[in-house]
């Protein structure tokens, strides 16, 4: 178990290092940062001054290790536009994005787990086909479009839910549903496939031969084994939701990390852009590790590996 | 004396395929009844139909299917679940995959007793440890905390047997419990089953294709072929005086030390078990039988050789 943990941790660190490098290189590829920061009306002298002030005159490799070294100790630098610490900025915005992502994942699980289980139990019936059709439909629908549709119906026509802002918990319902919609198809199909496989296995026949209740057979014996791939994908989906909330936070005017990323890209605030990418990547890696740990709890065979 | 298990003219279909075609057999309390026949002749399906554990798409019909006089055909799934694992238990031929990989041996054993007898976890654990010791597992306390993947095939089958005994069943159905195991382990498991059957006085329906096993442990034997029970007899009678050509053929395939000669080939039955579709009539063995003629395509009578021995063939006793 310890070896398993250490190995996972080493891989995770390598992934984070790769993401840091990519985030750094990509922001530099977008053009001369000093020119963009100085603005369109700046003279060459201004640009040179900016370049010197921000340390952009140093060799790229020095800049990278300077940034990476600070980031490793938690110092993400200062924002050019907001004139505050990047860490403070992200810290303020993160709760909104996390609340949104977790709300989305919870809604997705509440919908897709029962749907997947019921579809598996009723394999190849009309119910099963309808569930698969809805899943396919959900997969194909762009999230911003669904967001707009929900806003028109529940926000404007019916007036049940706020269409923007984060004033109350109700503000998270619509964006949460939209985010959930992107995860429901995959989670439902995976739950269904896992349950069908589990229900056809020998140990389920044993459970039935033992005279166990239907609930125990489905939820204790089958779901525990079917849940293993679902947990892995749920973690990945939560990662997607946190990153993908860039679009949804725009649509619903939620001031989270996604909104911050969009603002800082528009303002050429590259320390913020780099840091948002890094923080989301670290969260993503942490989620994958959490999923591995949960799977080791669910499946004792993984603990031996 | 009422039989423990009565099966009369059982039919099982999977779509157009008839897996069991009017099989009849009975198991008396405290006897070891062996159901023999080659692969694909419907032995396992018969057992699964009795337990109402047929895979999806399988349908069963019977003139009578009763356990201790209670009609199993009229029983709801809930009523059946109350019997399964409780008064009638079953072990399977796949010990490697029949235990749930996600739960400990202890958890899987105790849940049966808790479900059927409402036992506390402490009582259930004690009983599970006793039974593990009884089936010859050393350090039962350690094994209870282990997961199936930490045990060998032989140990897993012992766990399955112990688990089946948790609620003191009156009937134990063992479907080729040793097929997947090493030869040395096979002998141990069979000795164990025979010993338990004797000590606990339970009715054992043992499904096997190993006639050596049958000769050693069976009280009575039912020989199954293509979904029908073609011959039924007490063990000694069957080995001494087999009447059905299929039974005779099976017995010729068994090498008996001292009786076989090096220069003579061992017996074999030519061909394979046919798939029987709708509208089939007559004897299913006729394509492989040395005595077959055109009358074998008509309805075949069941002939009696005394009270306990009968067979399904046109050839007179």
Query: Which of the four pLDDT bands, split at 50, 70 and 90, describes residue A219?
Result: very high
Judge if B145 and B218 occupy the same domain. no
Shortest distance, CA A256 to any CA of chain B (angstroms): 40
Give the separation between CA A274 and CA A276, rounded to whole angstroms.
6
Residue A25 lies in a domain: no
Q: What is the pTM of this model?
A: 0.83
CATH code for the domain in which residue B38 is found? 3.40.50.300
Contact between chains at B101 and A225 (C-beta distance less than 8 A)? yes
Q: Find the radius of gyration of the CA atoms of chain B.
A: 20
Half-sphere exposure (Cβ direction) of B43: Cα atoms closer than 13 Å = 27
Kindly provide the ipTM of the predicted complex, given to two decimals.
Answer: 0.89
Query: In this complex, how many residue pairs, one in chain A and one in chain B, have their CB atoms less than 8 Å apart?
Result: 75
DSSP label at residue B299? P
* Out of B80, B92, B163, closest to residue A205 by CB: B92
The pLDDT of A17-45, averaged and rounded, is: 81
Shortest distance, CA A153 to any CA of chain B (angstroms): 44
Indicate whether B279 pLDDT > 80.
no
Judge if B35 and B149 occupy the same domain. no
Judge if B175 and B159 occupy the same domain. no
Q: Which of B117, B148, B166 is the last residue of a domain?
A: B166
Query: Which of the four pLDDT bands, split at 50, 70 and 90, describes residue A55?
Result: confident
Judge if B150 and B179 occupy the same domain. no
**Vertex A296, ends A10 and A222: CA angle to 5°?**
150
Most confident segment among A2-11, A150-159, A291-300, B131-140: B131-140
Taking CB atoms and an 8 Å cutoff, what residues of chain A touch B149?
A: 300-301, 304
Indicate whether B60 pLDDT > 90.
yes
Beta bridge partners of B221: B34, B233
Nearest CA in chain B to A124: B56
Helix (H) or strand (E) holding B11: strand B5-14
Shortest distance, CA A103 to any CA of chain B (angstroms): 29
Residue A85 lies in a domain: no
Judge if B198 and B275 occupy the same domain. yes
Shortest distance, CA B165 to any CA of chain A (angstroms): 10
Question: Which residues, numbered 209 to 268 in chain A, qualify as contacts with chain B under a Cβ-Cβ cut-off of 8 Å?
Answer: 209-213, 216, 221, 224-225
Nearest CA in chain A to B149: A301
Residue A60 lies in a domain: no
Indicate whether B1 pLDDT > 60.
no
Give the separation between CA B250 and CA B252, rounded to whole angstroms.
5
pLDDT reported for residue A80: 80
Give the separation between CA A281 and CA A288, rounded to whole angstroms.
11
Residue B66 lies in a domain: yes
Contact between chains at B97 and A203 (C-beta distance less than 8 A)? yes
The pLDDT of A108-126, averaged and rounded, is: 92
Taking CB atoms and an 8 Å cutoff, what residues of chain A touch B111?
A: 210, 212, 216
pLDDT, tens digit, 9 for 90 and up, residues A251-278? 888 888 888 988 888 887 888 888 888 8
* Residue A305 touches chain B, beta carbons under 8 Å: no
Contact between chains at A206 and B53 (C-beta distance less than 8 A)? no
Q: Which of B111, B146, B166 is the last residue of a domain?
A: B166
Residue B94 lies in a domain: no
Give the separation between CA B293 and CA B6, rounded to whole angstroms.
33
Judge if B41 and B122 occupy the same domain. no
Judge if B182 and B241 occupy the same domain. yes
Indicate whether A40 pLDDT > 80.
no
Give the separation between CA A160 and CA A233, rounded to whole angstroms.
32
Number of domains in chain B: 2
Judge if B103 and B248 occupy the same domain. no
Indicate whether A37 pLDDT > 80.
no
pLDDT reported for residue A303: 76
* Out of A209, A225, A304, closest to residue B84 by CB: A209
CA–CA distance from B88 to each of A209, A211, B91, B194, B288 (Å)? Answer: 9, 10, 11, 17, 37
Shortest distance, CA B127 to any CA of chain A (angstroms): 16
Contact between chains at B92 and A213 (C-beta distance less than 8 A)? no
Query: Which of the four pLDDT bands, split at 50, 70 and 90, describes residue A304?
Result: low
Work out the number of other CB atoms within 10 angstroms of the CB of residue B38.
Answer: 17
User: What is the average pLDDT value for chain A, to the nearest integer?
Assistant: 86
Residue A132 lies in a domain: yes
The pLDDT of A13-19, averaged and rounded, is: 89
For residues B217 and B191, the answer to whether their CB atoms sit within 8 Å is no
Contact between chains at B53 and A299 (C-beta distance less than 8 A)? no
Range of B154's domain? 99-166
Work out the number of other CB atoms within 10 angstroms of the CB of residue A220.
Answer: 17
Number of domains in chain A: 1
Judge if B214 and B258 occupy the same domain. yes
Residue A144 lies in a domain: yes
Judge if B299 and B230 occupy the same domain. yes
pLDDT reported for residue B24: 92
Residue B93 lies in a domain: no
For residues B192 and B131, the answer to whether their CB atoms sit within 8 Å is no
Half-sphere exposure (Cβ direction) of A72: Cα atoms closer than 13 Å = 10
Query: Which of the four pLDDT bands, split at 50, 70 and 90, describes residue B106?
Result: very high
Contact between chains at B82 and A211 (C-beta distance less than 8 A)? yes
CATH code for the domain in which residue A198 is found? 1.10.3720.10
Q: Which of B166, B189, B209 is the last residue of a domain?
A: B166
User: What is the average pLDDT value for chain B, to the nearest integer?
Assistant: 89
Contact between chains at B149 and A304 (C-beta distance less than 8 A)? yes
Residue B126 lies in a domain: yes
Question: Which residues, numbered 183 to 202 in chain A, qualify as contacts with chain B under a Cβ-Cβ cut-off of 8 Å?
Answer: 201-202
pLDDT, tens digit, 9 for 90 and up, residues B254-278? 777 766 677 777 778 888 877 777 7
Judge if B13 and B126 occupy the same domain. no
pLDDT, tens digit, 9 for 90 and up, residues A154-206? 877 887 877 777 777 778 888 888 888 888 998 999 999 999 999 999 999 99
Residue B176 lies in a domain: yes
pLDDT reported for residue A305: 54
pLDDT, tens digit, 9 for 90 and up, residues B110-157? 999 999 999 999 999 999 999 999 888 999 999 999 999 999 988 999
pLDDT reported for residue B175: 93
Shortest distance, CA A298 to any CA of chain B (angstroms): 7
For residues B236 and B251, the answer to whether their CB atoms sit within 8 Å is no
Contact between chains at A210 and B100 (C-beta distance less than 8 A)? no
Shortest distance, CA A277 to any CA of chain B (angstroms): 37
| Residue whose C-alpha is closest to residue B165's, from B118, B202, B115, B139 | B202
Judge if B149 and B185 occupy the same domain. no
Query: What does the block give as tokens for B62?
Result: 């019977």
Range of lowest pLDDT (A198-212, B68-82, B95-109, B179-193): B179-193
Contact between chains at B97 and A225 (C-beta distance less than 8 A)? no
pLDDT reported for residue B281: 83
Interface probe, candidates A209, A215, A220, A231, chain B, greatest B C-beta count within 10 A: A209
Taking CB atoms and an 8 Å cutoff, what residues of chain B touch A213?
A: 81, 115
Residue A161 lies in a domain: yes
pLDDT reported for residue A116: 93
Give the separation between CA A293 and CA A1, rounded to whole angstroms.
10
Range of A232's domain? 93-269
Instruction: Please give the share of chain A, as a percent, with pLDDT higher than 90.
Output: 24
Query: Which of the four pLDDT bands, split at 50, 70 and 90, describes residue B238?
Result: very high
């Amino acid at each position: 178990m310890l070896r398993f943990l250490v190995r996972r941790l080493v891989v995770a660190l390598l992934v984070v290092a790769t993401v840091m490098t990519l985030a750094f290189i990509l922001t530099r590829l977008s053009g001369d940062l000093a020119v963009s920061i100085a603005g369109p009306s700046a003279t060459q002298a201004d640009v040179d001054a900016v370049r010197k002030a921000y340390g952009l005159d140093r060799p790229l490799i020095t800049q990278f290790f300077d940034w990476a070294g600070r980031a490793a100790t938690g110092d993400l630098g200062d924002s050019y536009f907001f004139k505050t610490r990047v860490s403070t900025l992200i810290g303020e915005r993160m709760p909104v994005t996390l609340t949104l992502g977790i709300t989305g994942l919870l809604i997705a699980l509440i919908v897709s787990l029962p749907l997947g289980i019921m579809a598996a139990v009723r394999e190849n019936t009309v119910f099963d086909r309808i569930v698969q059709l809805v899943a396919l439909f959900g997969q194909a629908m762009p999230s911003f479009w669904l967001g707009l549709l929900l806003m028109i119906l529940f926000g404007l026509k019916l007036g049940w839910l706020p269409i923007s802002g984060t004033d109350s918990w109700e503000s998270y319902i619509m964006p949460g549903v939209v985010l959930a919609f992107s995860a429901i198809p995959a989670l439902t199909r995976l739950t269904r496939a896992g349950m069908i496989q589990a229900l056809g296995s020998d140990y389920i026949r044993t459970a039935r031969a033992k005279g166990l209740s239907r609930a125990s057979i489905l939820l204790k014996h089958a779901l525990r084994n079917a849940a293993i791939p679902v947990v892995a994908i749920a973690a990945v989906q939560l990662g997607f939701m946190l990153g993908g909330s860039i679009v949804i936070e725009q649509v619903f005017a939620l001031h989270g990390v996604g909104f911050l990323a969009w603002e800082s890209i528009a303002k050429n605030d590259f320390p913020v852009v780099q840091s948002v990418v890094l923080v989301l990547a670290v969260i993503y890696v942490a989620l994958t590790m959490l999923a591995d740990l949960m799977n080791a709890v669910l499946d004792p065979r993984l603990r031996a590996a | 004396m009422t039989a423990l298990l009565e099966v009369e003219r059982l039919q099982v279909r999977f779509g157009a395929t008839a897996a069991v075609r009017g099989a009849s057999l009975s198991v008396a309390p405290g006897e070891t009844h062996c159901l023999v026949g080659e692969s694909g002749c419907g032995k396992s399906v018969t057992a699964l139909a009795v337990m109402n554990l047929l895979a999806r798409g399988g349908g069963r019909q019977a003139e009578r299917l009763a356990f201790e006089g209670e009609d199993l055909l009229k029983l709801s799934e809930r009523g059946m679940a109350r019997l399964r694992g409780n008064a009638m238990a079953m072990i399977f031929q796949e010990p490697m995959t029949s235990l749930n990989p996600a739960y400990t041996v202890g958890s899987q054993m105790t849940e049966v007793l808790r479900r059927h007898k409402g036992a506390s976890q402490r009582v259930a654990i004690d009983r599970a440890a006793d039974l593990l010791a009884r089936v010859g597992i050393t350090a039962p306390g350690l094994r209870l905390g282990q997961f199936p993947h930490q045990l060998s095939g032989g140990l897993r089958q012992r766990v399955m047997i112990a688990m089946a005994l948790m609620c003191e069943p009156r009937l134990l159905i063992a479907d080729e419990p040793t097929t997947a195991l090493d030869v040395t382990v096979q002998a141990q498991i069979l000795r164990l089953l025979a010993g338990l059957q004797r000590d606990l006085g339970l009715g054992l329906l043992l499904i096997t294709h190993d006639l050596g096993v049958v000769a050693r442990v069976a009280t009575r034997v039912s020989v199954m072929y293509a979904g029908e029970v073609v011959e039924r007899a007490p063990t000694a009678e069957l080995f001494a005086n087999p009447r059905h050509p299929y039974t005779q053929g099976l017995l010729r395939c068994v090498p008996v030390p001292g009786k076989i000669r090096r220069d003579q080939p061992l017996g074999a039955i030519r061909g394979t078990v046919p798939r029987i579709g709708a509208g089939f009539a007559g004897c299913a063995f006729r394509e492989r039988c040395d005595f077959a003629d055109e009358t074998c395509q008509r309805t075949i009578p069941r002939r009696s050789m005394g009270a306990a021995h009968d067979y399904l063939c046109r050839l007179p006793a």
